[in-house]
Amino acid sequence: MTIMTCLFARRPRPIRSVLGMAAGLALAAAATPAAAAETPWFPMKIFDASSGTAKPAEYTPLPKAEKPYKLCVLFPHMKDSFWVAVAYGIVKQAEAMNVNMNLYEAGGYENLPKQLSQFDDCMASQPDAIIVGAISGAGLSKKFEEAKAKGVPVVGVTNPLPPNALPAANYVDFVAMGEVTGEGLLAQTKPGDKLNIVTFPGPAGSGWAESFNEGFKKAVAKNPNAKILAEKFGDSGVAVQLQLIQDALQAYPSMNVIWGTAPTAEAAIGAVAEAGRNDLKIISSYENQAMLDALNRGDILAFATQYPVGEGAIAIDQAVRLIEKKPVISLVQPVATVIDRTTVPKLQMDLVLAPASWTPVYSVKAK
C-alpha cells in the first residue's frame, strides 16, 4: 500500500454506512487480543470481482486446514499500524486454521530488490503457498511466473496487481476508495466555498497511489468550485511527506485542502499548525491508528478504510483453498468506507486495526 488505473469493471458505489457494514460483519467488540482471537470475523461483506464485474457477497473461510501447511508472507514494510493490522489478520487466521507462517518485510516501497530477494528466500524454503503484499506487481511478475512453474500458489494481499497476475488476491477497488474520500470532503463543504487542493497520493508507480488519486479527482470534479492545484507523489514516509507539504505551502499559498496518505496527514497536522494555517482542511486516503486519533481530536476531516485486518485473514484462507484445490474467490474486494467524526463511534475496529496491546508476530507454528 504497481501501475494500475482501473483493472476491472467499476463496481457498485461503495457502501457508506459504517453502522450497516458493522452489522453485516456480525462482530462483537474486542478490547483485548485474547478477546479478538475468540471473536468471529466472518461472514464479512465483500465484493466478488472474479468475473471482472464486482458483485456483493459474503466471505466465510474454511474452518481449518487439512494439514499444517507452510506459508511464507512478504510485506513492503511494517513501519505503520496499517501493515501491522494486515499482519494481525494474517497471524490470527493462521492460528485459527492451524498452519505455519513466516513473515518478511522489505523495509519500504523503495526496496523492491529486497522484496525480490525475499521472494527467492521464500521459494528456497519450499513453502506450500506464498502471500505477498507487492511493492510492485509488475516488478514481481517474473517471480510469480517462477512460482507458478514450480506449482507454488501465490496470493496477493492489500496492494493492487496486474489483471490475472495471480490465482487469487484481495485488495480494495482503489479508485473507489479514493472516490469515497472525495465524496467525504464534498459532504463537509459549504455551497459556494472554493476548494484549492494539492494531492499527495503516495509513491509513484505503486499503483494504489495513482488509483487513489484518480478516484479522489473524479469525486471532487463534481464540485465546480474545486480545483486541483498540483499532485505531489512521494514515498509514504512521514519525513518525505513533510518536505512535500512544506514545499507546497510555499508554492501554493491559496491551497486550503491537503489530501493524501495517512503519513501525509500526520505530517500535515504539524506543518499546518507551524504555518498558522487553521483554514487548511486535511483528509486521508486510508487508515491507521494516527488517523483515528487525529479524527477524534478534530485535526482531520475524515479517512477511508478498507478493513485491513480482514484482508490479512482472507489471504490466509485463499492460500489454503489454493493448496487444497478448493473453490476460491480469485479477486476479493473489501468494501471501501469513509469515516468522519459522526460515524467513527459506530466503526467496528477489530477489522480495521490490531489491538493497541498487540505486538507484531513474524512467525506462527502450527500445533
- pLDDT tens, residue by residue, 89-139: 999 999 999 999 999 999 998 999 999 999 999 999 999 999 999 999 999
pLDDT of 79 reads: 87
pLDDT of 155 reads: 98
The yes-or-no verdict on residue 16 having pLDDT over 70 is no
- pLDDT tens, residue by residue, 40-60: 778 999 999 999 999 999 999
Q: Which contiguous run of DSSP H or E holds residue 130?
A: strand 129-132
Average pLDDT, the chain: 88
pLDDT of 348 reads: 77
- pLDDT tens, residue by residue, 61-103: 999 999 999 999 999 999 888 999 999 999 999 999 999 999 9
The residue ranking higher by pLDDT, 242 or 40, is: 242
Mean predicted confidence (pLDDT) in 146-164:
95
Give residue 71's Cα distance to chain centre.
21
- pLDDT category at 306 given cuts 50, 70, 90 is very high
Mean predicted confidence (pLDDT) in 232-260:
96
Instruction: Determine contact, residues 248/213, Cβ cutoff 8 Å.
Output: no
pLDDT of 101 reads: 98
Mean predicted confidence (pLDDT) in 152-157:
98
Mean predicted confidence (pLDDT) in 231-245:
94
The yes-or-no verdict on residue 263 having pLDDT over 90 is yes
Cβ neighbors of 237 (< 8 A, separation 6 or more) are 79, 108, 263
Taking the C-alpha atoms of residue 13 and residue 87, their distance in angstroms, rounded to an integer, is 28
Mean predicted confidence (pLDDT) in 279-294:
94
Mean predicted confidence (pLDDT) in 150-162:
96
Mean predicted confidence (pLDDT) in 7-30:
29
| The three cell numbers locating residue 160 | 493492487
Q: What are the C-alpha distances in Å from 161 to residues 130, 154, 293, 345?
A: 15, 12, 31, 33
- pLDDT category at 353 given cuts 50, 70, 90 is very high
| The three cell numbers locating residue 14 | 461503495
- pLDDT tens, residue by residue, 183-234: 999 999 999 999 999 999 999 988 899 999 999 999 999 999 999 999 999 9
Compute how many other C-beta atoms are within 10 angstroms of the C-beta atom of residue 229: 17
pLDDT of 92 reads: 96
Q: What angle do CA 248, 289, 172 make, to 5 degrees?
A: 80
Query: Which domains does the chain carry?
Result: 18-172+308-334 (3.40.50.2300), 174-305 (3.40.50.2300)
Cβ neighbors of 276 (< 8 A, separation 6 or more) are none
pLDDT of 39 reads: 54
- pLDDT category at 30 given cuts 50, 70, 90 is very low
Taking the C-alpha atoms of residue 122 and residue 45, their distance in angstroms, rounded to an integer, is 32
